[in-house]
């Protein structure tokens, strides 16, 4: 089995310090949290940015500051910017970090309810526009799928030539409004992607570690971090992103799976020259 790629989703756009005081907002907090996560075994960092008060933003200037600070402390890590941003942001706003030519970016593959009155909008034309914006810059993409219809959309747009290989999926399961993160959900999605595609799984809340274990055993890859889950175990807040990464790494080693370095992750995902 290939080594395990661990992605750490450092902050997201929804969770706040009121939920867990260790959620990073500032440039310094993001850089420190990224460094600790990489030390613990993360090779990819999924990055949203916030203003100092915690408000999410997609401004290129803020991304630039955060990416530079993270690069200074983690020169080898794969930096993946979010083009999802927060619900309600425009297509143009969400695409701003692509102007910085990051190594990797997310490509969200469908619309879904996102709790309460929130809707995370990704129309077919949005997805095509984001795919173009990412691929034309030579940026490697991760296909974010919150339910089976999103996988189908990604494959359809791949067939039509809008989404190019290599296909690397992220199954984000357990969002209120998306697919839940039970084992049957994971198996359904995992069985729906092409043989030569790669995938990572991100379980929201209580789904994080049970899904991580399934992916570890299956040869897939794993995302953890405060964007998805703030608890180390039931009722115990994680003190840092690194604690969540360490837990995933420990689970992998217990299953006989080693952890990939960033260089190994680039090879496993076929990142070189194939964006």
- Tell me how many residues contact Zn ion (CB under 5 A): 1
Stretch 111-150: interaction string toward ligand KMH, x if CB under 6 A: ---x-----x-----------------------x------
Shortest distance, CB of residue 13 to ligand KMH, whole angstroms? 4
Distances (CA, A) of 49 to 96, 115, 167: 12, 21, 26
140 binds, among Zn ion, ligand KMH, none (CB under 5 to 8 A by kind): none
DSSP 3-state assignment of 152?
helix
Does residue 82 bind ligand KMH (CB under 6 A)?
Answer: yes
Q: Which residue is nearest to ligand KMH (CB)?
A: 84
**DSSP secondary structure, 28-51, as one string:** HHHHHHHHHHHHHT--EEEE-EE-
Pick between residue 178 and residue 257 the one whose CB is nearest to ligand KMH.
178
Shortest distance, CB of residue 87 to ligand KMH, whole angstroms? 5
Name the helix (H) or strand (E) containing 252: helix 241-254
3-state SS string for 55-71: CEECCHHHHHHHHHHHH
Shortest distance, CB of residue 170 to ligand KMH, whole angstroms? 8
Pick between residue 82 and residue 200 the one whose CB is nearest to Zn ion.
82
Return the residues of window 140-199 that contact ligand KMH according to CB under 6 A. Answer: 144
β 119-120/198-203 pair status: unpaired
Spatial distance between the Cα atoms of 121 and 169, rounded to a whole number of angstroms: 19
Give backbone dihedrals phi and psi of 29, rounded to 5 degrees, phi first. Answer: -65, -40
Pick between residue 82 and residue 241 the one whose CB is nearest to Zn ion.
82
Contact indicator for 18, 57 with CB cutoff of 8 Å: no
Contact indicator for 274, 103 with CB cutoff of 8 Å: no
Binder among 36, 108, 126, 246 for ligand KMH (CB under 6 A):
108
Shortest distance, CB of residue 117 to Zn ion, whole angstroms? 20
Return the residues of window 61-120 that contact Zn ion according to CB under 5 A. Answer: 82
213 binds, among ligand KMH, Zn ion, none (CB under 5 to 8 A by kind): none
Binder among 57, 87, 229, 241 for ligand KMH (CB under 6 A):
87
Please confirm whether the linkage preceding 26 is cis (ω < 30° from 0): no
Does residue 97 bind ligand KMH (CB under 6 A)?
Answer: no
DSSP 3-state assignment of 180?
coil
Count of Cβ atoms closer than 10 Å to residue 24 Cβ: 23
Shortest distance, CB of residue 48 to Zn ion, whole angstroms? 6
86 binds, among ligand KMH, Zn ion, none (CB under 5 to 8 A by kind): ligand KMH
Does residue 13 bind ligand KMH (CB under 6 A)?
Answer: yes
In 3D, which of 125, 97, 129 has the Cα closest to residue 111? 125
Torsion sign over Cα 70, 224, 6, 195: negative
Q: Which residues bind ligand KMH (CB under 6 A)?
A: 12-13, 82-84, 86-87, 106, 108, 114, 120, 144
Q: Which residues bind Zn ion (CB under 5 A)?
A: 82
């Amino acid at each position: 089995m290939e080594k395990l790629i661990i992605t750490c989703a450092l902050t997201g756009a929804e969770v706040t310090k009121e939920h867990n005081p260790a959620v990073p907002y500032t440039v310094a907090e993001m850089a420190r949290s990224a460094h600790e996560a990489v030390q613990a075994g993360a090779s990819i960092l999924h990055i949203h940015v916030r203003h100092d008060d915690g408000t999410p933003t997609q401004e290129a200037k803020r991304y630039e500051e955060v990416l530079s600070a993270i690069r200074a402390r983690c020169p080898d890590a794969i930096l993946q910017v979010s083009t999802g941003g927060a619900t309600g942001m425009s297509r143009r706003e969400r695409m701003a970090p692509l102007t910085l030519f990051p190594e990797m970016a997310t490509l969200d593959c469908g619309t879904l309810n996102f709790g309460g009155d929130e809707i995370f909008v990704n129309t077919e034309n949005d997805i095509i526009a984001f795919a173009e914006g990412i691929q034309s810059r030579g940026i490697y993409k991760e296909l974010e799928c919150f339910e089976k219809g999103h996988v189908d959309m990604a494959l359809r747009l791949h067939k039509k030539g809008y989404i190019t290989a290599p296909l690397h999926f992220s199954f984000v399961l357990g969002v209120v409004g998306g697919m839940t993160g039970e084992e049957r959900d994971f198996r359904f999605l995992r069985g729906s992607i092409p043989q030569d595609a790669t995938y990572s799984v991100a379980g929201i809340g209580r789904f994080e570690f049970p899904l991580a274990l399934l992916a570890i055993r299956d040869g897939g890859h794993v995302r953890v971090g405060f964007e998805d889950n703030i608890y180390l175990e039931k009722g115990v807040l994680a003190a840092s992103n690194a604690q969540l990464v360490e837990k995933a790494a420990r689970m992998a080693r217990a299953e006989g799976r080693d952890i990939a370095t960033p260089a190994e992750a680039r090879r496993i995902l076929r990142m070189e020259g194939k964006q």
